[in-house]
Structure 1
Amino acid sequence: MWLQKLLNYWIYCGSCIAAISGEPTLPTADYYIGAVVEFPARTVNGAASTRARIRQFERLLEDAAIRPDIVVFPEDVLNDRETPIVVPTPSDTVVPCGVDAALYDYIISEVSCYARSLQLYLLINVVEVQNCTQSHEIANLIASCPIYNTNVVFDRGGAVISRYRKYNLIGSEWLYFNYTSQPEEEAIFHTDMNVTFGHFTDMDLLYARPAQALVQRGIMDFLHPSNWQSELPFMSAVQLHQSWAYSNNVNLLVAGTNDPRNGRSGSGIYAGKYGALTASMTSDETQSKLHLSVVPKQSVANRKVMESLRINQNSLKEQQNQTQRDSSSGVLDRFTGVVLARSNDIDLYVTVPIPNEVTNNMALQQQICHNDLCCDFYIKRSVNPLANASTTSYYYRMAAFRGIGSFLNTEPNAVAVCAILSCTGDHIYTCGRIYYESVEVVPQYSFDEVRIRGNFTRGSTSLLTPTSVNQLLMPLTVDEFEWQVQEYSNISLAKLTLLQPRSDLLTFGIYDNYFLDENHSKDAADTFRWAMWLIPMSFLIQITF
């Protein structure tokens, strides 16, 4: 499949023969070959398990029909805080392959050898212990040295050229990990493809540092090992990753850990305004898969590259449009294989229900305001004749919100929202939920036209994005909506328009993240410790009274 797409691409670009032959992409090419690996979560720790996992990594690359230039592996799949490893300092340009085993762990030496053997850039994520005592005894280092969640990048010769220590910790990570003091400086490296990459990990995507700061520095290609826990209505994995890349107009390569029972899945490669080149969610907790794509260099993107991307876009759209093809019963295909979290912030939104009764060609117009945000909705619908009193359909609400929210109901963030939300009932508590797998869903109507407009207060650092997700937990392709933003001194007027009828929407709207980075401090660890202490205390108080 990918070989055929690369051959199609070759029609437009004669130099692409390098991709097919396995030779490294030339610096003068207007593309590179990117790959991301989705991989199962760790269930067993220990050296034997780690070796087996690295061998699986190697088999995925060996079996690939096309040799990529750069490969990203997921977060938290190799070792844990009980088995941290030492990572070479990038400025030393160490090639750990073949070095004395007492100096570097098997993970580092083996991946170094593999990067050198296949002439690839490789990024892995590990738990690292800093060697702060010059000791080679890991037990001594664990007892006295900082431990980090770390990305490690190897070049084509096997040298460690970049080491980024996660900056934004979440939940219990504050109890076990340290964080870097200079995230932007650590998270950049240059390649022989004439592309400069930035990289970060998981929750970093929601913060100004390092992710947004690197965009502001002019970095246009990003690598993102992830162990993302999807949350509705705005934070499912592929939905969020596409909207971040789209709004920043950058390339984003995301490798996701597969742990669907805990809500973790989602890998993809995104090309800014051109959307997803390849993306997937899976319910198979044992699946390991390599996703490959031609990636345009954003700095030199041209018509020939865009023609190639349209081939990929049409393929993705064809897959997603399966949800729009009703069977004789009208039942839609749905993806329910990942356990989704629900944002409890929804309960604070100002919402207005969309009536179930539909008058064809009659437009619904509504303005909803919350604090300093006003959202204008224009909606036209048509009746689905296959729906009746015995079929199950989603309910919908129009929503507005401007205030302090949270991610996974633990991490505070300041947001503004204008959106249409799906619900499983007529109460707001049912919004942000999906029907169980056993439920057959027949849409009561189709959204034929939707226009959403809002006046969003401009923040010193913020990211205003279009957001959507359908019943396959995939975002709409970028040619299915129109996004317009007009900037003024203190506000941004944003407008999102649905260009093609859809009957399978879970979310469609505008989302503004205002980046509460000032909360990033060691106080967060103290806050988490207090929260953990208060839970049993509150339980005791309830028993007492």
Structure 2
Amino acid sequence: MKLIFYGLLIFSLTKATSQKSTPEDSQYVAAVVEFIMSDDVEDNIRNYIHYIEEAAKQILVSISAAARSNQIYVVVNGRELMDCTKNDTGEPCPELKEYIFNTNVVFDRNGAVIDRYRKINLFREYSHTPALSPDLGYFDTDFGVKFSHFICFDIMFQVPAVQSVQKLNVTDVIFSTMWFSELPYLTAVQIQQAYAYEMNVNFIGAGANNISLGNAGSGIYSGRAGALVSIMPGVPTTRLLVSRVPKIPGKVSGKYPGPIDDSLTNTDNLVIYTDPTLDTHVSRPLVPGFQEFTLVDKDVSCSFSIRLKNKSGDAYPHFRAVVQDGSNVYVNREIGVAACLVVACTTEDFKSCAQRYKNEESNVEIENLVIEMTTFKNTYNETLQCDNMLYLPISVRVNKLPLDPTNYTFVEESPITSNGSEKTKNEATATIIDRTKFLFKLNKPQTDLVAFGIWGRLFLNDFDHSNNESKSM
């Protein structure tokens, strides 16, 4: 295996003392690097070594001089070359040619390679080959935590994003990424936090940084507690993020760094794309005051209860309610999507929606917002040993960061039977349930929301146009 490194995550690791974390400890320490990429591979490697040493300084008070590589676990991401024109690959070759994979490699405290994961779902990586088989990445540690790990666009798909957690029964996920943020549902820190929340896992994400292309966003998250530390910088940034991580996701104690807010002067320097299909969805403009209504798109309905307060002058920004039951296409991959959303717009034109605005120009307060989504009931895939759907609570503010989970409530409500009535505890368990409801509401007024809603992935509706492979609900 020949690997050219271009990304870095550092995990650990240890307690905030010189003693290693053990299986009996209630937490471990993790670190990630938001990293500016260089075309000079040797320069990247020198920088990696620097940040490994810097992480060790922050995490360990003292280390044994004999400990190899600072006695921490390290995950690196890079391009792996498998040359099947030679006979020393150590694995079967489908064809006699060179294969290039996007690969995570895991090193233990002694510097030994203990796992490798090849990216399954590629995004505009025309020189790369998808993993030849959908093998999951995972490894055990000496402090009693098993990690799964995957790469960037993989988070959008059932394999590995859902399967690796549910089949392997892990509560801690490692994520290397060069993410292209897209409003309103898929900005980097927004999707990282939403995934950690709904999957109820500790999520450790390290992002490459190139703001002119839209690449930024790293963080460490703990289940329903949200971000222990996160960053979505608007300027070129290389920065080490370190936090204690509870072994039980969401069970946080003590102080944590929390989200690192960007300077207001830097906010608009990061390129953020917009879903080009958004204005084709069913929508309704919102008006000042109280409004209550339902929007329907095919088999998904969204009931909205909203109160907007216009503080002075003409309302700005404008807001719309949106519902979607359909699909989005990303590089020949058509993905099934169901969504309910309230989104900010710079004008009354739907095409202006999902755009950031200057917070100081806002004169609209969202006093109350409740979304009730009636949608497809989740099912279980016996073959993959994981769920066929994933519904995420998404939000993003003007500062490019999501709301703290204390600011909202997200719950699945009563499932619905096939005859349309809600299932009660006294009904026979033999009743077929094919619909369900989700409730997503604000817990306090907000003045800087760009988007707030439920984004569902319907994996059975996915279609790979490059392979002409589809699934059907």
Please report the TM-score for the alignment, with normalisation by the length of structure 2: 0.82
- State the Cα deviation string for residues 412-439 of structure 1 (Å, max 9, x = none): 211111110111111111112234xxx6
- Is 1:421 equivalent to 2:343 in the alignment? yes
Partner Cα separation in structure 2 for residue 517 and residue 53 of structure 1: 40
Map 1:125-524 → 2, pairs under 5 A: 125-132=77-84, 133-134=86-87, 144-171=97-124, 173=125, 175-185=126-136, 187-217=137-167, 218-285=169-236, 287-298=237-248, 305-308=251-254, 311-312=255-256, 316=258, 335-355=267-287, 358-359=288-289, 363-385=290-312, 388=313, 393-407=316-330, 411-435=333-357, 441-460=360-379, 461-486=388-413, 488=415, 489-515=433-459, 519-520=463-464, 523=467
In structure 2, relative to structure 1, the CA distance for the partners of 1:457 and 1:168 (3 Å cut) is: same
Q: CA separation in 1, counterparts of 2:103 and 2:221?
A: 23
Q: Cα deviation per residue 1:89-144 (whole Å; 9 max; x = unaligned)?
A: xxxxxxxxxxxxxxxxxxxxxxxxx99321111111111112432369xxxxx982
Evaluate the alpha carbon distance shift between residue 38 and residue 123 of structure 1 in structure 2; reply closer, same or farther with a 3 A threshold.
same
How far the C-alpha of 1:522 sits from its partner, in A, is: 5.9
Measured at CA, do residues 514 and 290 of structure 1 come closer, stay the same or move farther in structure 2, by a change above 3 Å? Answer: same
Unaligned stretches of 5+ residues in structure 2: 1-12, 90-94, 380-387, 416-432
Q: Which one-letter code corresponds to 1:433 in the other structure?
A: Q
C-alpha distance 222-384 of structure 1, shift in aligned 2 (>3 A):
same
**Displacement of 1:348 after TM fit?**
1.9
What is the deviation of 1:251? 0.9
Q: Supply the distance in 1 between the matched residues of 2:292 and 2:413 (Cα, whole angstroms).
A: 22
Q: Distance in 1 between matches of 2:103 and 2:223?
A: 26
d(CA) in 1 for partners of 2:301 and 2:160?
31
Q: How many aligned positions are there?
A: 421
Larger Rg: 1
Partner of 1:66: 58
Structure with bigger strand share is 2
Residue 122 (1) aligns with residue 74 (2): yes
The answer on whether the counterparts of 2:274 and 2:354 sit within 8 Å (CA) in structure 1 is: yes
Map Cα deviations across residues 435-480 of structure 1 (whole Å, 9 max, x no partner).
4xxx674222211111000101125411011110000010000100
Structure 1, residues 48-76: CA drift from partner, whole Å, max 9, x if none?
x222222212222323442279xxxxxxx
CA deviation string 1:325-353 (max 9, x = no partner) = xxxxxxx8882121111101212211100
Q: What do residues 241-289 of structure 1 show as CA deviations (whole Å, max 9, x unaligned)?
A: 100110000111000010111111000011111111101011222x211
* Cα distance in 1, alignment partners of residues 83 and 351 from structure 2: 50
Given residue 43 of structure 2, which amino acid in structure 1 is its aligned partner? A
Aligned residues of 1:334 and 1:472 also touching (Cα < 8 A): no
Alpha-carbon separation, structure 2, partners of 1:479 and 1:510: 17
Percent identity at matched positions?
A: 29
C-alpha contact 2:355 2:450 (8 A) present in aligned 1: no
Could you tell me how far apart the structure 2 residues matched to 1:118 and 1:521 are? 46
RMSD: 2.9
**CA distance in structure 2 between the partners assigned to 1:30 and 1:448 by the alignment:** 39
Q: Distance in 2 between matches of 1:63 and 1:214?
A: 31
Which structure: greater helix fraction?
Answer: 1
Q: Distance in 2 between matches of 1:522 and 1:411?
A: 8
CA distance in 2, matches of 1:24, 1:274: 25
The residue number in structure 2 matching 1:41 is 37
**2:334–2:465: 8 Å Cα contact kept in structure 1?**
no
1:51 aligned residue (9, 21, 42): 42
> Do the aligned partners of residues 68 and 246 (structure 1) sit closer, same or farther apart at CA in structure 2, a change above 3 Å counting?
farther
Structure 1 residues 443 and 518, CA, compared in 2 at 3 Å: closer, same or farther?
Answer: closer
**Structure 1 gap segments, 5+ residues each:** 1-16, 70-113, 137-141, 324-331, 526-545
